Amino acid sequence: MKVAFFDIAAQYRALRYEIDAAVRHVLESGRYSNATENAAFEKELGAYLGVREVVAVNSGTDALLLSLKALGIGADDEVIVPSFTFFATAEAVCLAGAQPRFADCANGAFNIDLRSVEDAFSPKVKAVIAVHLYGQPVDLAPIQEFCAARNLHLIEDCAQALGAAYRGRRVGTLGVAGAFSFYPTKNLGACGDGGAICCDDPELAAHLRRLRNHGRTSAFSHSEIGINSRLDEIQAAILRVKLPHLDHWNARRLALAQRYRIGLQNTRCILPPGCNSSTSVFHHFAVIHPQRNALRAFLAEHDVETAIYYPTPCHLQSAFGNGVNALSLPQAERNADHMLALPIYPELSDIAIDHVVSLVRAFEQG
């Protein structure tokens, strides 16, 4: 039985007529950038998240970059970020002109650890970026307290976590800004790149809208240096079709994750940590296994696709230089060496999950 890691086109097949009609409407309108579809999508996503403002941009990376720039973070500033995350989280800090300070994961978890955040703090730090990795919310309360005590901005990187909740609130709404990605593989994926920033501050949102559009205040007047980061109308229209289905898709991911949890009990897999105060959306179902590479090869031999996110933590990436590379962040390094993502997406069948589980057990018994 072949089990694909993703089936991105499955959502299109299910929503073909609605998506085709939405795209055709945009093409016939002749308005392809920063028009009615964007405005409607921002309003609908804001209602879903429960925030006053949403600013659509062209990627999750730009969502982080523009958040930093709008908050005045730049040269000579530092931002604490987790090392175990996608490169773009730290890259955005550098693109803003600031420097990342890397923090480790909590013991036995994938998300950022408060004690490591405390160790990474310096007088130059102006913000903390908390990444809700794999769709699992960070335990934000202690980090909120840490930031409030030091007058730091808390930015949430929700690229993999749209729809997840922490203490009854959607992630992205608990800091000064929340950054989202709509890359095609995300829980809410466009048919290309896309992103958004949410906040409850109208002045911050107005600043973000200027920055995403060349710092423009009118057609040919520019009050500051910005970038071109507009979300195109076709992507906004597609996202509007998909957004009403997101909670159903996320609920299916949660059910599949629970099936994995039951099936993988009493194996050598260390399962994703749970938290009573949060609800994950399981963008990935990531396990830790002491024989990760051998297990992955065994699954591949049996036509089961898996993935590794991320084999090299940010603090060991050559892009950040030798001074950063000298850091020792043991939990991030452990995760990088032993993490394996098993297939999980809404269209995946229960039978497929049971098949993957049976293969993991066969590997361990062999």
| 292: helix, strand or coil | helix
Residue type (1 letter), 113: D
- 10 Å CB burial of residue 361 (0-12, 13-18, 19+) is middle
Taking the C-alpha atoms of residue 276 and residue 257, their distance in angstroms, rounded to an integer, is 16
Give the helix/strand (H/E) hosting 93.
helix 87-95
| 76: helix, strand or coil | coil
CB 342 within 8 A of CB 356: yes
Nearest to 159 by CA among 211, 72, 81: 81
Taking the C-alpha atoms of residue 138 and residue 146, their distance in angstroms, rounded to an integer, is 14
Taking the C-alpha atoms of residue 23 and residue 240, their distance in angstroms, rounded to an integer, is 11
Taking the C-alpha atoms of residue 249 and residue 163, their distance in angstroms, rounded to an integer, is 10
CB 82 within 8 A of CB 59: no
Q: Is 242 one of the catalytic residues?
A: no
Of 69, 126, 186, 242, the active-site residue reads 186
Active site members: 186
